[in-house]
Chains A and B, each alone.
Chain A
Amino acid sequence: MNATDTLVEVLRSEGPRVLATLARTVGDLAVAEDALSEATIAALDTWPKTGIPDNPRAWLAVVARRKALDLLRRESARPAKETAAFRWGTEGAPGQIEEAIEAMEPETSLRDDMLRLIFTCCHPALSREAQVALSLRTLARLEVPAIARAFLVPETTMAKRLVRARSKIATARIPYAIPSDAELPGRLAAVLTVVYLIATEAHAPTGGDAVARVDLEAEAIRLARLLAGLMPDEPETLSLLALLLLTSARTPARTDADGNPVTLPNQDRTRSNRAAIAEGSAWLSEAVDRSGGVAGPYQIQAHLAAAHSTAPSWQETDWDRIVGLYDLLGSITANPVVALNRAIAVTERDGPEAGLAALKTIVGLEYSHLWHAALADNLRRLGHTSEAAGELHTAVTQAPSEAEQRLLQDRLCAVRSELR
């Protein structure tokens, strides 16, 4: 690995930690971000010449702190902050790494800083869009162009979104703090939602041609791992990591050799990522142990993902268990998509008549291609071929991505050929 690759890896793993502590000492996330960027540029310049330092995080922390001091000095309008921020005496000669390591915060305080950073990025006073963007930039250290590409928005739009979010944090004084015990459940749920949304975007891109964007999936898992490490006592945090790993296990089987999407019934289970299944299952049982018999929504979804990922085939899936899990999930979250997936499982367990009846009770999915496709599947199995074709036609027009459109179009052609 050359210096640049190592630097990129170090920045992604250590950058958020350096930033978290710097943001607290400086009292300004935007200044801390700018300082870390400048430190990164300095590292890119220095490391190839001098070699990678023994303690890269300490190196980055020292340089970033010095850059932050410079930045605050330049902003002469903020003299009060400058004196308040620098308690560690960063005025010393450059290169005093040993001293910096001694001054570096102990692990517990670093953990608190990381939690502060996470809860600030996902503060409910920020829009969900802003929370997602900040999490990917600040916590996952993705570059702005990469985030913009992932969400199919122009780079300038994403850059503006981030600038606006950071300036709201500063201007509206969103606190750089860990929520109180009373607030924690709701605030943690918001953080998990952000990570879950990043993962969902990876599995079902809302536009474009890619079937799955593996990069976002990896980022979501990376963030979930970070959260699980920081909050190992929160069962839903562990369940989310389990869910993402178990779902990602099927990613290789989601596309065929030509890059076309393969739906769950037709996926080749031998192509599943066994390491991801094993790790996801281990996290899931850890989550079960810690949840005291009360399964949260992510735990139930992780059980569902496990049931699918460990089934040898669609036919040999434990549909009774899956229907039961969806019943449980439906009882704690009123979500029509849960009802849709339950109805699909009912079809497999009890036949198309029961499945069709279950689908018809669902309200609110009139504009979902998945609902129309499920209706079509049951109608076709019952021999109502022309009605099935009608539903598939609706599904094609409502499909959100080209890949899904193609898949449904092929199915429609197959149904139409049965009509002749």
Chain B
Amino acid sequence: MNELVTPRAHTADEPRAARKGLRVLAVEALGPLTVLGGIVWAFAQPYRVTFFYPDGKGFWDWAVQPPLLVVLVGLLFAFLVAPGLIEDLDRTSGESGDAASG
């Protein structure tokens, strides 16, 4: 076999691996992008963050600050949902790779 010839298994695996890579990247990016969205919003509309304008604010203003809620949702997704999903994506592609080669 020379460098111009690749095994058929390799050529079939390459697009699958690229697709998997894109999926992993997309799942990994969802949380950080959401956090970034919340931070950009906090700077764009600082009056919606009670920490920046604390005068005369009540309990609910401190408890519920929309841009910080967005950051919190992004963090929850990034730490609770995304890691297990990426692990399962790796495991599934490993299993299908084993099945294809076996």
Decide if A and B are genuine partners.
no
